[in-house]
């Protein structure tokens, strides 16, 4: 028996008499470890027909193969060099390494008795965070290449009376929307076939609730995601006995992979947490894990900023930008972020149709170059960040003129453009060098750039790599691996460089990327009403400091509502500061100052989602620091029909024995009355059992409360 355990969860595997490896348990840890012995299903669960011979093995293979007796979704499928399509994996050995007080890695070696094929299962348990990472290595010593058709990162099995799946469907400006449905018999697949910008239609995250619909604070739930930025696939198969298997990994669709002898095929890491206290606990587990292990600089601070995309689009010059530097300073933010439109000379980037690929500042627009801009920014007392989209190219560019063979495009069909651009072939090492140099050159030329926003505004279509020749089915995987090589080089040369991930909004969000990026742009939809849903969706899997939200002129709501909504994640602005009314500017300045004081709680504290916008016409959430001494609560009233007469909201995560003062902050005279309980002192017990009337009743108004322990 092999037990993979965290503080509250156990995944138990067992080697059967036939030497195959089975999962016997995944769930809340049992109190008596001897009870795991009773989990053997070896003799009890075999379907037999009249003659008494076992026909179908109903046990749950830890890593099911294809070609022998598996009747359901396989984790692995391959054809050997002699054309034989079967694989059997028997247990060889297991080894547990205690990496530190928190992390234990279990490595299990499996082997085919007939062919020299080894499969190594890795399970990394993060004890305190209750998270388990799983991945697989596949290798062989056959005479020639084998062909891999399925290569899941992990397979898990569950048995429950019902399975409810929450998926996070997306589209541009409609990211991370939650939808829950019951799984029926058969296979439900959530996947991406987009090659790049792979989260555009589906964020690679899910909740799977056992027995009943997912709740915020109760119920057994599995939260799953994957550290892979290419095509992914999550398959949920409910079999004839109503058992569920979940396979997660790279999408094998159109991606059969030929593996040479001695080479290792390593799957990406799948990431799981099991919670017996609903979605809220699952999210807190993942946030804690991410801040420590999954997100670049997850325990460091972030830069608040003023961005120019929505205020200027491509239409700016040096004067406009330097004026905005002083605006950033006036607001009190840390940085100015220059967006698209600063580059290209033969074909200046004055719109989306030209210049992409030519990463030199446009002389006509910025005669003194980037160095001058950063110097001016420094003089204004702020940092300077810059936008790039280095994996893409416009046909109208010097880069394309020089290297037409660097783009993904079919040799015998017309190119398909999207936003008038093409995807560069990151399978090609020369292209990898080029993309690395985009960042390296900007950093090396003394530009003083302190931050990058890395965009990606299209998916792959008509994808064909000249470089890959007759191995086109490697394209989707090799592109992603090529991109990781570039990002590895950037990270190792510039380990302290913060970068924002962006893909025409939030079309690229996953923990593969977040190993390199400090944050991501959640959506181009900055209407704060819509944004509540988008940020709520992402909050289930990603910590607040990774989710970038900007206050913009989109939407007719007050500046207070916009800012309060943006403050639930990483705050930024993209507005014409000089056009703000006096009271608006004053409000923003105060909000930025408040945010700076509160950001350690928002960024590093525990998130409690109190009222979901999917349940009521309001959203309420709070962050509480680890010591339970400081907390901040956000309440957003959405679109109530009549006077909603909202119920009191019970707070969470506080210490019942502590006493707290509740203070309304971010105040601005609005139509609503001010928060009545402001200035009052309550016990944590009262706040969590009785609660506060936190929500205003007027459409699109907000309340922000700072809740501090009084000693």
- Using the rule CB under 6 A, which residue among 123, 151, 168, 309 binds ligand DGJ? 309
In angstroms, give the least distance from the CB of 546 to ligand DGJ. Answer: 16
> Among residue numbers 432 through 461, which ones bind ligand DGJ (CB under 6 A)?
455, 457
Q: List Cβ neighbours of 583 (8 Å cut-off, separation of 6 or more).
A: 668, 669
Q: What is the DSSP string of 363-374?
A: TTT-TTHHHHHH
Q: List Cβ neighbours of 140 (8 Å cut-off, separation of 6 or more).
A: 115, 116, 117, 118, 146, 259, 261
CA distances 335 to 331, 383, 412, 452, 502, Å, are 10, 4, 47, 11, 18
Nearer to ligand DGJ, 238 or 501 (CB): 501
Nearer to ligand DGJ, 442 or 649 (CB): 442
Nearer to ligand DGJ, 73 or 339 (CB): 339
Q: What is the SS3 string spanning 466-516?
A: CCCCCCHHHHHHHHHHHHHHHHHHHHHHCCCCCEEECECCECCCCCCHHHC
Closest to 248 in 3D by CA, of 171, 157, 166, 125:
157
Contact status: 249 vs ligand DGJ (CB under 6 A): no
CA–CA distance, 257 with 150 (Å, rounded to integer): 9
Residue 169 · residue 177 · CB < 8 Å: yes
> Among residue numbers 313 through 332, which ones bind ligand DGJ (CB under 6 A)?
none
Q: Which residue has the tokens 């099911």?
A: 64
Nearer to ligand DGJ, 309 or 517 (CB): 309
In angstroms, give the least distance from the CB of 171 to ligand DGJ. Answer: 13
In angstroms, give the least distance from the CB of 310 to ligand DGJ. Answer: 8
Contact status: 525 vs ligand DGJ (CB under 6 A): no
In angstroms, give the least distance from the CB of 305 to ligand DGJ. Answer: 12
In angstroms, give the least distance from the CB of 536 to ligand DGJ. Answer: 19
Nearer to ligand DGJ, 183 or 548 (CB): 548
- Using the rule CB under 6 A, which residue among 201, 521, 542, 636 binds ligand DGJ? 521
Nearer to ligand DGJ, 200 or 633 (CB): 200
Residue 598 · residue 701 · CB < 8 Å: no
x/- string (CB under 6 A) for ligand DGJ, residues 261-300? ----------------------------------------
Indicate the SS3 state at residue 564. helix
In angstroms, give the least distance from the CB of 387 to ligand DGJ. Answer: 6
Contact status: 524 vs ligand DGJ (CB under 6 A): yes
In angstroms, give the least distance from the CB of 616 to ligand DGJ. Answer: 30
- Number of shown-chain residues binding ligand DGJ (CB under 6 A): 11
Nearer to ligand DGJ, 358 or 455 (CB): 455
Which tokens go with 363? 């002389």
In angstroms, give the least distance from the CB of 481 to ligand DGJ. Answer: 25
CA–CA distance, 312 with 474 (Å, rounded to integer): 41
In angstroms, give the least distance from the CB of 402 to ligand DGJ. Answer: 23
Query: Alpha helix locations (H) across 207-342?
Result: 278-289, 309-312, 318-331
In angstroms, give the least distance from the CB of 172 to ligand DGJ. Answer: 8
In angstroms, give the least distance from the CB of 667 to ligand DGJ. Answer: 30
Nearer to ligand DGJ, 507 or 644 (CB): 507
Residue 136 · residue 151 · CB < 8 Å: yes
Sign, CA torsion 360/361/364/369? negative
- Using the rule CB under 6 A, which residue among 129, 175, 334, 340 binds ligand DGJ? 340
Q: List Cβ neighbours of 34 (8 Å cut-off, separation of 6 or more).
A: none
**Residue, CB closest to ligand DGJ:** 340
Nearer to ligand DGJ, 293 or 387 (CB): 387
The helices-and-strands tally (H runs, E runs) of the chain is 11, 38
> Among residue numbers 481 through 520, which ones bind ligand DGJ (CB under 6 A)?
502, 504-505
In angstroms, give the least distance from the CB of 393 to ligand DGJ. Answer: 14
Nearer to ligand DGJ, 219 or 505 (CB): 505
In angstroms, give the least distance from the CB of 361 to ligand DGJ. Answer: 16
> Among residue numbers 369 through 408, which ones bind ligand DGJ (CB under 6 A)?
387
Nearer to ligand DGJ, 376 or 524 (CB): 524
Q: List Cβ neighbours of 258 (8 Å cut-off, separation of 6 or more).
A: 145, 146, 147, 148, 471, 474
Nearer to ligand DGJ, 121 or 361 (CB): 361
- Using the rule CB under 6 A, which residue among 237, 334, 339, 706 binds ligand DGJ? 339
Residue 400 · residue 409 · CB < 8 Å: no
Task: Identify the bridge partners of residue 159 per DSSP, sorted by sequence position.
Answer: 243
- Label residue 416 exposed, middle or buried (CB < 10 Å: 0-12, 13-18, 19+): middle
Closest to 398 in 3D by CA, of 479, 351, 343:
343
Indicate the SS3 state at residue 111. strand
246-267 in b/e form (b: 16+ CB < 10 A) is: bbbbbbbeebbbbbeeeeebbb
CA–CA distance, 253 with 240 (Å, rounded to integer): 25
Nearer to ligand DGJ, 122 or 396 (CB): 396
Q: What is the binding site for ligand DGJ (CB under 6 A)? A: 309, 339-340, 387, 455, 457, 502, 504-505, 521, 524
């Amino acid at each position: 028996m092999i037990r993979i355990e965290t503080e509250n969860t156990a995944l138990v595997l067992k080697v059967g008499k036939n030497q195959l490896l089975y999962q016997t348990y995944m769930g809340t840890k049992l109190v008596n470890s001897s009870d795991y012995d009773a989990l053997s299903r070896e003799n009890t669960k075999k379907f037999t027909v009249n003659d008494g011979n076992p026909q179908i093995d109903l046990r749950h293979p830890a890593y099911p193969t294809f070609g022998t007796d598996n009747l359901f979704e396989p984790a692995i499928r391959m054809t050997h060099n002699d054309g034989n399509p079967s694989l059997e994996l028997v247990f060889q050995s297991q080894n547990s390494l205690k990496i530190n007080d928190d992390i234990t890695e279990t490595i299990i070696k499996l082997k085919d008795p007939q062919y020299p094929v080894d499969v190594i299962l890795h399970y990394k348990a993060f004890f305190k965070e209750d998270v388990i990472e799983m991945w697989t290595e596949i290798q062989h010593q056959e005479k020639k290449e084998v062909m891999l058709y399925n290569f899941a990162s992990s397979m898990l099995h569950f048995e429950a009376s019902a399975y409810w799946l929450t998926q996070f469907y997306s589209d541009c400006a409609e990211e991370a929307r939650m939808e829950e449905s019951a799984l029926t018999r058969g296979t439900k697949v959530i996947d991406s076939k987009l090659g790049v910008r792979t989260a555009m239609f589906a964020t690679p995250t899910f909740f799977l609730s056992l027995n009943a619909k997912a709740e915020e604070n109760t119920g057994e739930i599995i939260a799953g995601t994957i550290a892979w930025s290419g095509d992914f696939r999550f398959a949920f198969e409910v079999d004839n006995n109503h058992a569920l298997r979940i396979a997660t990994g790279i999408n094998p669709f159109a991606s059969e992979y030929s593996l040479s002898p001695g080479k290792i095929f390593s799957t990406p890491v799948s990431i799981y947490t099991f919670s017996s206290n609903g979605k809220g606990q699952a999210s807190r587990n993942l946030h804690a894990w991410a801040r420590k292990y999954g997100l670049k600089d997850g325990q460091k601070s972030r830069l608040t900023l003023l961005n120019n995309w929505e205020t200027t689009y491509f239409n700016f010059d040096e004067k406009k930008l330097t004026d905005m530097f002083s605006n950033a300073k006036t607001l009190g933010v840390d940085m100015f972020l220059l967006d698209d439109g600063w580059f290209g000379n033969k074909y200046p980037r004055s719109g989306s149709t030209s210049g992409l690929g030519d990463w030199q500042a446009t002389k006509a627009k910025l005669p003194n170059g980037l160095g001058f801009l950063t110097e001016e920014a420094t003089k204004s007392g702020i940092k300077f960040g810059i936008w790039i989209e280095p994996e893409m190219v416009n046909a109208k560019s010097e880069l394309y003129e020089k290297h037409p063979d660097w783009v993904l495009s079919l040799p015998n069909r017309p190119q398909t453009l999207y936003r008038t651009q093409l995807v560069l072939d990151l399978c090609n090492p020369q292209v990898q060098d080029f993309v690395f140099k985009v960042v390296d050159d900007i950093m090396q030329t003394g530009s003083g750039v302190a931050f990058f926003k890395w965009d990606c505004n299209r998916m792959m279509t008509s994808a064909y790599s000249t470089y890959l020749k007759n191995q086109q089915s490697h394209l989707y995987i090799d592109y992603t691996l090529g991109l990781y090589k570039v990002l590895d080089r950037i990270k190792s040369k510039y380990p302290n460089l913060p970068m924002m991930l962006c893909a025409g909004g939030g079309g690229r969000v996953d923990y593969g990327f977040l190993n390199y990026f400090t944050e991501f742009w959640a959506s181009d939809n900055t209407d704060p009403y819509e944004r509540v849903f988008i940020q709520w969706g992402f909050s289930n899997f990603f910590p607040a400091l990774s989710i970038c939200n900007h206050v913009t002129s989109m939407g007719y709501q007050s500046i207070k509502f916009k800012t309060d909504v943006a403050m639930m994640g990483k705050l930024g602005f993209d507005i014409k500061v000089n056009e703000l009314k006096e009271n608006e500017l004053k409000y923003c300045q105060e909000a930025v100052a408040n945010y700076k004081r509160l950001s350690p709680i928002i960024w590093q504290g525990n998130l409690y989602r109190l009222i979901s916008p999917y349940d009521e016409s309001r959203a309420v959430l709070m962050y509480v620091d680890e010591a339970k001494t400081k907390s901040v609560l956000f309440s957003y009233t959405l679109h109530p029909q009549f006077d909603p007469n909202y119920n009191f909201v019970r707070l969470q995560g506080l210490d019942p024995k502590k006493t707290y003062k509740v203070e309304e902050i971010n105040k601005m005279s609005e139509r609503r009355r001010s928060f009545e309980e402001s200035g009052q002192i309550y016990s944590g017990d009262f706040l969590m059992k009785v609660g506060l009337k936190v929500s205003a009743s007027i459409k699109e108004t907000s309340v922000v409360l700072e809740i501090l322990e009084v000693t």
